[in-house]
Every structure is written in structure tokens, then in C-alpha cells.
Homo-oligomer: A and B are copies of this chain.
Amino acid sequence: MNCSIARALDEVGEWWSLLIVRECTQGTTRFDEFQSELGIARNVLTARLERLIELDILERYPLAERANTFGYRLTEKGTELYPVLVALMQWGDRWLSPNGKASVELIDNASGKPVQPVGVHGKNGRKLSFHDVRFAPGPGATKTTHAVIEHRNWRVLGDSDE
């Protein structure tokens, strides 16, 4: 599928992968910490960490406090998954929290104010649903992409002039 969502899910569309990334955003670095925080079998954790390193989402780095030991941290590619995590978290807060009560709030450390809801916004800041958005060919569009785009816009927006 010529689709970035499918490609992204191929890399992180697996329960443990995003939870490992979540752990990294919470300061977890050492193998033992990941294991105790996630309650995951050592062999599964080893395989997941190796895979995330192969994908350049995580990297190993030497731990200053202990000779010859390594920690794991997010690369730039991994760090850029943060909006995915926060979008999932906010969705879970809203729809899946016991009694609708979120356990954790995210606070912008500089201002002391809660972070904004993650959303899809237009240039003018207006919040958009998928009904407000049309597809257009990107630089990597193929012939098939053009047909898919036209069909999608017609189905969702009810016109076919793009």
C-alpha cells in the first residue's frame, strides 16, 4: 500500500513498540527498568528493543554512571512519535478512563498550563475533521495515487473536481 499510515503501523503498529517509546518519554533508559515498568518477558523485550534500534527509532548509548553498560533512548525519528503518543493518550483519557477521569495531566513546564488537545488544524488554526480535508497529490504520487485521491474526495466531499 502506498500509504504512510500503513508504513507507520508496520513500524510501530504493535502494542509493545509504542509502550517502549512511551517509557522513553518517561525517562526509562535501562533494560531492567523497561522490564519492570512494562512487565514484559526478557526475550520479548530484547527482540522489541533490537527491532526499534534497527528501525532507527531507538539508539543505544553508554551510561555515564556505570562502565560498560548501555541505555536506550529515542532518536530524532523516535522523538517525533510524541504527537502520536499524546493523541492516543488524550483519546484514551476522553473515552477509556474509569469514570471519565484521567489519571495524568500533561503540563507545559514553561507556562505551567496544560498542553492543548492534539488535533488536526488548518493554517488559520481551525480544528478540522476528516470531512473538512481533501486529498491532493504529493510529490511521491503515482498514477494510482491520483485515482485513489479523486475517488476519496468524491466519496467524502461529494465532488470530483480535484
Binding site for B on A (CB under 8 A): 2-15, 18-19, 22, 25-28, 77, 79-99, 101-111, 113-116, 118-124, 126, 128-130, 132-142, 145, 148-149, 151-152, 154-157
- Closest Cβ neighbor of A11 among chain B residues: B96
- Copy total for this chain: 2
Cα A132 to Cα B79 in complex, Å, equals 12
> Would you call A4 and B102 a contact (CB within 8 A)?
yes
Cα A149 to Cα B28 in complex, Å, equals 13
**Given A108-B126, A123-B108, CB of A101 within 8 Å of CB of B139:** yes
Complex partner residue of A104 from B25, B91, B107, B149, CB under 8 angstroms? B149
> Would you call B103 and A140 a contact (CB within 8 A)?
yes
